[in-house]
Amino acid sequence: MTVVTSATVTDLQAALVRGERVVDVREKHEYERGHVPNAVHIPMSVVPLRIQDITSERKGEPVWIICESGARSWQVSDYLTREGVSVINVEGGTAAWKASGLPVHSA
């Protein structure tokens, strides 16, 4: 059994200030309605095909995975962890990000 590392939106906010990477695994219409600034959009359905696009450009640095509530991102994080990718699941997802009053971008 894999152990998925999770963190809060406040932790993600600090990670973004450090220049770390976040991948949004929601569907296109969800992403376009509002997403974390600088989030890379890779829908959950294509994650297995795009692992190389997800891995961090900075070796040893985890990639943050976000969805709307944290459920899909947990599934993706579990899969990527089993594939050897260092990831952090964002608890509460984009809904928690928005509820915290953090900025969102629309596509």
Examine residue 106 and state whether it is found in any structural domain, yes or no: no
Q: Is-catalytic flag, 54?
A: no
Which segments of 1-107 are extended strands (E)? 6-7, 22-24, 40-41, 63-66, 87-90
Structural domain containing residue 55:
6-99
Task: Identify the pLDDT of residue 56.
Answer: 65
* Whole-number percent of the chain with pLDDT over 90: 87
The active-site residue out of 23, 67, 87, 96 is 67
pTM recorded for the entire structure: 0.95
CATH number of the CATH domain containing 90: 3.40.250.10
Examine residue 59 and state whether it is found in any structural domain, yes or no: yes
1 has a pLDDT exceeding 90: no
Domains identified in the chain, total number: 1
**Mean per-residue pLDDT for 16-26?**
96
Task: Identify the pLDDT of residue 35.
Answer: 97
Q: Is 76 left (phi over 0), alpha (psi -120 to 50) or beta?
A: alpha
Examine residue 80 and state whether it is found in any structural domain, yes or no: yes
38-63 pLDDT, tens per residue? 999 999 999 999 998 898 666 778 99
